[in-house]
Structures are given as structure tokens and as C-alpha cells.
């Protein structure tokens, strides 16, 4: 045992010396290349003096990076994440200048801007060298990664021997996109799990892939709330207006996330999926976890234990990681600008604006958020936590603006596969076995925007149907002219030839919100959910204008006579309780559409008018009411078909032939699997998934270590 300790100590010393030597050589090379950086006096020094100066400077920089940098990062936790990324270069360069100043040999000098370049290069080279040497020694690699776990939670002297569970959410990756990416070789890790790796002797499958169907609101807020907390009741969309409070709820707004989580806990009667020794990383909701990082519902709270950016320290405490992420951030911004420019030059269609702050937002999602979340998961594995749920949002962000089948999105999938490979590798060094589950919260459906096709927004169309003034640009469009004609015909007034704004009473403006290809129209001055009869009495042309528009698939409104009705083009009106016999405009949206619509109709905060866009089953396209060419939020196409990828060690998610429907059922499946992992010696047969959703009206009950340190 003593010999083993000596060998480990000797190996660590050898690696440190090697990193020091490479850092010294890097400094010498940079001094020969950069004009504003020198390691000798103006009169010149001997080669020996220059070498000693470089060695001492590299050593001092390494010591300062190891000792001072973590303190600086802890002080900067209050700085916004994007600002922190930009400060990385300045702080690292300052440490290098300090290291050169305290060097007792030679007269090294560097301009401030040059010092930042030299420091970044040295940090990257030192990290790459140390990682390359450590990865050849499994024990050294494990100890290097475990430093993160020790700082965050302490050692795990008596970790359970039962398997832990890691759930990684690939935000927005649909089932068909995943299968296509596996077939194209973009996801080698996933392909290996499915037993479809390259070569005739591919390893047997270790995971099973299952598709599931979302609720009508096919977006992260509804899906993740249902998965983590067991209910997404009364979440009709990504954003909606609540008449009782006069507030617009937005799922990715911290204050709204807190309210939604509180409501879910009250309705479900439990804290969430992660309440027992769990960790929540990069999510909208905590799931009841005791450990959270980058969790939106926690960020709105105050206190040292609830800072949403607490996970940044674990990652940025290593200056090499900070520099690498900052460099990757800059590279991703440049990549986005180049890809956007290429799309404009080639006049690609469909296309949306990708300027403004979007390049920074994309870089944060695809680089910073990914790196920090994966690092947090690594720490959780090495700390032996029982269950971890992490969300990687990179694909969803890029697919919105580049398209779900674009080259840009495919590149992101490759990076996500490498993140899964890293998690799998680290799990081999964890103090307990782990089972890795990968799932998505929804898919994305392609298609141009409603505005691009018709020249006006959904809000413009609603205003025109209400007889309200619309912007001149929208009034000149064919859709705008048709809407004005419908208003005049409904009111039995002559059509105005010159577009004079019609007179209207002093009623409040309608609130029109969009969630992908799902639109919501509410009338704030009416305290209750308006009926079809009330809407017709107030705005006779509104519902016909919307239902007959070629870009709209169907409407859902409340009815005094039928309780709820679906409206389609050419006067189609079908009560909700007759949709099974006559789906009408819902037929094109496939199985389950009627149940999804009925369920949303039962929500207290469903809008006065729910609008779902046109859907073309031939090419899977929808029309987003937002500026997105890859969208989700409503019914139609791949957006409603995410995936669940789980180890074969777990029982099947559902009985053969039974489709998983809704995020609440995914919550039940994951709860069952956690129970199986806690007592693996007791075989758990597959159980039919019980639908816990309330009965609808008229129905019966129903980077290797690049992310790690």
C-alpha cells in the first residue's frame, strides 16, 4: 500500500513537471512571436537567463492560477454570466502580469492586451497537457475529477451500492431527429447504446428507444413541469394571460416559474422527482432537489443556498476551463455570424433574423450552459447522488433559428453526444454504479413563419377581425383585406376602399400571445372565459376570420350550448364530446389530438380563443406565430413526438402497444425506475401507465475534461 502511495505521488510530481515544462516552452515560443511580449532586458540576456525567466514566470503563473483564481471567481458569482465570460481574459492576463512582475530573473515585459493572449494560450496548453497525461492513468483521472465533488459536497465514505440514476434532457430533439442522427453517424455514443454502432460486430444494445407524445402544449415549461413534479395542469402554453391576476405568465420567467412550481407541488402533494438526494441542473424547475444549479425557479429566491449561478464556481474555479469556455464562446459567436451571413447570401428559405443579441444567446446556450451543466453532473456523479436531472438546451436554441434539420443543428448534436460520452466515462469512476437515461421534452416542426407567408402577424389578424385598426403594412396584405371585408360583411356595412380605420368602442385591446404555432387570444375586460356566443355578439367577424384563414388549422372556444367546440374553415363546428366520431379539422393532426384539446379546455386559465396553425402532414410543416423556422408549442408534426432512451436494466416504460401520452406519464415511469434502482434485487414487472390527468368535459375518468473541472 505504501508503494502504491509513492507511485501515485511520483506520478503526480511527474505530471506537474511535464505541465510546467510545456508551459515554459509555450511562453518562450510566444515571446518569440509576439512583439509586445519579451522575457529579456532591452540590452539582451543570455539564453540561460531567458529560459530561467520563462520557467519562473510559468511556475508563478501556475501557482497564482491554482490559488488566487478560485477566490476571484467566488467573488464574481454576483456578476452576470455573459459579463463573467468576458472578464475571464482580463483576469487571466492580470495574473500573468503579476507572475512576471514577481519573477526574480530577467526583466520580462508584456503589454496588457498581449498578456491576455499569452495567459489564455498558456492556460489552454497546460490544461490540454495535464488532461492528456492524466487520462492515461484512470486513478489520476478519477482523482482529478473528484476534486470538484469534494469541494461541493465532501467525500462519500459510505455511498450506497444501489445504482444511481442520471437523466439528461436533450431539449427539443425529436424522436425522428434522433434516429436520423444515429443513422448518419452523428451520435456514436447513442448508436452504441442502441447496438447500431459501425461494423458487423457492434456491441449488443444496452438501451431501448421509445417515442412518446406530448400534451397540446408541446414546450419545455409544460413538459418539464410534468416530468419533474408530476403535473402540468393549467399550463395551456409557453405564455398565457391570467384574467384573475392580470398577469402574463411566461414559463422561462423566474417569477412565473416559482408560481408554477408552487402550484404543481400543491396539486401533486409531493415535492418532486428529485426530492430524495437529488440534483437539478440547468432546468426551469427544481423537482424538489436539494442541490440546484442554473435552475430558473430557484433563481428568483434570495439566499446563499439558492443562487442560480452557484454552479458557475465549480466550473470557472479552474482558469483553464474558464479560458477554454471563453474561447469557445467567442468562436461560437463568430460561427453563428458566419452561418447567418452565408444563409443571407444564399437567400435560404425559410429564414428568420439572427442579428442583435442572438449570437451571444446562442453561444451561451451551446457553450457556457453546456459546460457548466455537464461539470455539475460530473460533480454529482462523483459525489454519489441518487438521482440527477440535467437539461442541455443547445439544440433547441439553434434549431429555432437555423431549422431542426439544418447543418448548424446537426453540429450541435455531435457536441451533445460528446457530452453524453463524458458523463458515461465519469460514471465509471463514480463511487456507485449509475444508469443513464436520456430523453427530450418535445421535438420541433419546421416551416416558415405565419408573418413571412401572409405578411401580417396573428395579432394583426385578430385586430382586423375585431374591426380595430391594423398597421398599414398589414392592412395592404391580402389577408388584411379579406379580414376587413369579413368585418364589413358581418356588420352589414360597405367595404371601405381606402383603408380608413373603423370606429370602435372603448373596450380594452385583445391580448394576443404566441407559443410556437399555438396562439392565444384573451379579452382582459371580461373577467371570465368568454363563450363563442359572447365573442360573436361583440365581434361578429372575428371567429369566421380566424377559422377561414388558410394559415390556421382550427380554433378552440367555449360554448354555452356544447361546453366547448372546435371551429374549422367553411363553418365547421364540432362539439368536444363528438370529436372521436367526427374529428373534423383535427383529423390531420393524428391520434390523440382530440384528447389533448379536451384536456386543455378543462384548464382554468385557457384563453378565450385557442388558435392552432395550419399543418401539412406531407412535409411536416407548421406556421409559427413567432419568428422561428423550427418551432414547437402546439399540435402538428415532430414537435409532439419526443423520445425516451433508457437502459434495458429498467422495466419497459409501458406495456407492448401502449403509447406514452403526456409528461405526467413520463414522471410515473421515472418514479417507477427510481424505485427499481433503489431495490434492484426485487424484480419489478412492467406496469401499465396510469393516466393521472383529470377527466375532460364530457368524458369518463381518464472536451473529455473540458466540461469536467
pLDDT above 70 (res 3): no
Task: Report pLDDT digits (tens) over 323-341.
Answer: 677 778 888 898 888 888 8
Q: How does residue 707 score in pLDDT terms, banded at 50, 70 and 90?
A: very low
Rounded Cα–Cα distance for residues 675 and 682 (Å): 10
pTM: 0.77
Q: Other C-beta atoms within 10 Å of 101: how many?
A: 11
DSSP 116-163: HHHHHHHHHHHHHHHHHHHTTSHHHHHHHHHHHHHHHT---TT--SSP
pLDDT of residue 695: 39
Cα dist from 607 to 182, 231, 263, 623, 701, whole Å: 40, 20, 19, 20, 24
DSSP 278-295: EEEES-SS-TT-SEEES-
pLDDT above 90 (res 273): yes
pLDDT of residue 692: 39
Of 127-136, 248-257, 493-502, 699-708, give the lowest mean pLDDT range: 699-708
- Give the three cell numbers for residue 665: 406519464
For the residues 359-386, what does the mean pLDDT come to? Answer: 90
For the residues 191-208, what does the mean pLDDT come to? Answer: 80
pLDDT of residue 79: 47
For the residues 512-532, what does the mean pLDDT come to? Answer: 96
Tell me the CB-side half-sphere exposure of residue 668, using CA atoms within 13 A: 18
Rounded Cα–Cα distance for residues 139 and 251 (Å): 43
Task: Report pLDDT digits (tens) over 105-149.
Answer: 555 556 665 656 665 665 555 555 555 444 444 444 455 555 555
* CA quadruple 311, 190, 387, 127: dihedral, nearest 10: -30
CB-based contact 238:247 (threshold 8 Å): no
Rounded Cα–Cα distance for residues 459 and 480 (Å): 11
pLDDT above 90 (res 60): no
For the residues 411-440, what does the mean pLDDT come to? Answer: 94
CB-based contact 314:152 (threshold 8 Å): yes
For the residues 57-77, what does the mean pLDDT come to? Answer: 59
Map out the domains of the chain with their CATH numbers.
2-134 (no CATH), 162-441+639-678 (3.40.720.10), 450-628 (no CATH)
DSSP 398-435: HHHHH-TTSHHHHHHHHHHHHHHHHHHHHHTTSSS-EE
- Give the three cell numbers for residue 379: 460533480
Rounded Cα–Cα distance for residues 562 and 697 (Å): 10
Amino acid at each position: 500500500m505504501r508503494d502504491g502511495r509513492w507511485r501515485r505521488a511520483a506520478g503526480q510530481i511527474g505530471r506537474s513537471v511535464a505541465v510546467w515544462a510545456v508551459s515554459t516552452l509555450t511562453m518562450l515560443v510566444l515571446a518569440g512571436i509576439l512583439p509586445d511580449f519579451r522575457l529579456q532586458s532591452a540590452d539582451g540576456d543570455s539564453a540561460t537567463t531567458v529560459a530561467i525567466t520563462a520557467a519562473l514566470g510559468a511556475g508563478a503563473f501556475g501557482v497564482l492560477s491554482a490559488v488566487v483564481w478560485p477566490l476571484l471567481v467566488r467573488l464574481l458569482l454576483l456578476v452576470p454570466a455573459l459579463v463573467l465570460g468576458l472578464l475571464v481574459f482580463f483576469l487571466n492576463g492580470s495574473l500573468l502580469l503579476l507572475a512576471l512582475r514577481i519573477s526574480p530573473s530577467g526583466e520580462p515585459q508584456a503589454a496588457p492586451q498581449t498578456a491576455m493572449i499569452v495567459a489564455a494560450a498558456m492556460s489552454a496548453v497546460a490544461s490540454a497537457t495535464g488532461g492528456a497525461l492524466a487520462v492515461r492513468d484512470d486513478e489520476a483521472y478519477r482523482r482529478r475529477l473528484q476534486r470538484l465533488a469534494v469541494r461541493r459536497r465532501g467525500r462519500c465514505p459510505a455511498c450506497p451500492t444501489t445504482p444511481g440514476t442520471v437523466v439528461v434532457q436533450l431539449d427539443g430533439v425529436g424522436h425522428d431527429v434522433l434516429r436520423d442522427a444515429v443513422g448518419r453517424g452523428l451520435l456514436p455514443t447513442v448508436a452504441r447504446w442502441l447496438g447500431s454502432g459501425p461494423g458487423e460486430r457492434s456491441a449488443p444494445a444496452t438501451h431501448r428507444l421509445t417515442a412518446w407524445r406530448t400534451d397540446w402544449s408541446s414546450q419545455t415549461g409544460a413538459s418539464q413541469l410534468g416530468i419533474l413534479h408530476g403535473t402540468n395542469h393549467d399550463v395551456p402554453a409557453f405564455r398565457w394571460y391570467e384574467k384573475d391576476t392580470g398577469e402574463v405568465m411566461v414559463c422561462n420567467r423566474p417569477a412565473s416559474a416559482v408560481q408554477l412550481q408552487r402550484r404543481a407541488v400543491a396539486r401533486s402533494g409531493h415535492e418532486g422527482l428529485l426530492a430524495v438526494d437529488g440534483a437539478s441542473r440547468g432546468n426551469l424547475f427544481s423537482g424538489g432537489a436539494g442541490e440546484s444549479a442554473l435552475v430558473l425557479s430557484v433563481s428568483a429566491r434570495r439566499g446563499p443556498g439558492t443562487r442560480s449561478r452557484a454552479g458557475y464556481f465549480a466550473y470557472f474555479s479552474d482558469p483553464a476551463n474558464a479560458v477554454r469556455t471563453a474561447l469557445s464562446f467567442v468562436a461560437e459567436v463568430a460561427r453563428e455570424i458566419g452561418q447567418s451571413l452565408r444563409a443571407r447570401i444564399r437567400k435560404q428559405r425559410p429564414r428568420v433574423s439572427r442579428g442583435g443579441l442572438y449570437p451571444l444567446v446562442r453561444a451561451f446556450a451551446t457553450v457556457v450552459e453546456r459546460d457548466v451543466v455537464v461539470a455539475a453532473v460530473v460533480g454529482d456523479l462523483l459525489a454519489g447522488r441518487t438521482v440527477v436531472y440535467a437539461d442541455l438546451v443547445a439544440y433547441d436554441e439553434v434549431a429555432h433559428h437555423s431549422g431542426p434539420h439544418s447543418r448548424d443543428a446537426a453540429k450541435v448534436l455531435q457536441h451533445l453526444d460528446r457530452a453524453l460520452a463524458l458523463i458515461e466515462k465519469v460514471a465509471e469512476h463514480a463511487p456507485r454504479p449509475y444508469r443513464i437515461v436520456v430523453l427530450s421534452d418535445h421535438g420541433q416542426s419546421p416551416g416558415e413563419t405565419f408573418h413571412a407567408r401572409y405578411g401580417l402577424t396573428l395579432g394583426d389578424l385578430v385586430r382586423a377581425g375585431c374591426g380595430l385598426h391594423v398597421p398599414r403594412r398589414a392592412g395592404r396584405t391580402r389577408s388584411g383585406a379579406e379580414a376587413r371585408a369579413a368585418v364589413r360583411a358581418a356588420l352589414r356595412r360597405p367595404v371601405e376602399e381606402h383603408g380608413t380605420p373603423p370606429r370602435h368602442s372603448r373596450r380594452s385591446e385583445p391580448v394576443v400571445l404566441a407559443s410556437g404555432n399555438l396562439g392565444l387570444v384573451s379579452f382582459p375586460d371580461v373577467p371570465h372565459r368568454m363563450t363563442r356566443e359572447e365573442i360573436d355578439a361583440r365581434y361578429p367577424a372575428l371567429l369566421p376570420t380566424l377559422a377561414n384563414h388558410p394559415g390556421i388549422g382550427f380554433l378552440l372556444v367555449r360554448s354555452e350550448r356544447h361546453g366547448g367546440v372546435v371551429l374549422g374553415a367553411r363553418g365547421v363546428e364540432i362539439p368536444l364530446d363528438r370529436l372521436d366520431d367526427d374529428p373534423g379539422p383535427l383529423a390531420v393532426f393524428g391520434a390523440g389530438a382530440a384528447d389533448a384539446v379536451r384536456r386543455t379546455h378543462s384548464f382554468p386559465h385557457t384563453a378565450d380563443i385557442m388558435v392552432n396553425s395550419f399543418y401539412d402532414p406531407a412535409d411536416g410543416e407548421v406556421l409559427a406565430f413567432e419568428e422561428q423556422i423550427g418551432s414547437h408549442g402546439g399540435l402538428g408534426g415532430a414537435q409532439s413526438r419526443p423520445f425516451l432512451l433508457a437502459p434495458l436494466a429498467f422495466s419497459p416504460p409501458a406495456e407492448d402497444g401502449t403509447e406514452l401520452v403526456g409528461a405526467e406519464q413520463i414522471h410515473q415511469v421515472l418514479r417507477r425506475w427510481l424505485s427499481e434502482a433503489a431495490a434492484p434485487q426485487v424484480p419489478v414487472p412492467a406496469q401499465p401507465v396510469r393516466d393521472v390527468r383529470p377527466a375532460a368535459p364530457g368524458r369518463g375518468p381518464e472536451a473529455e475534461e473540458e466540461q469536467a473541472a
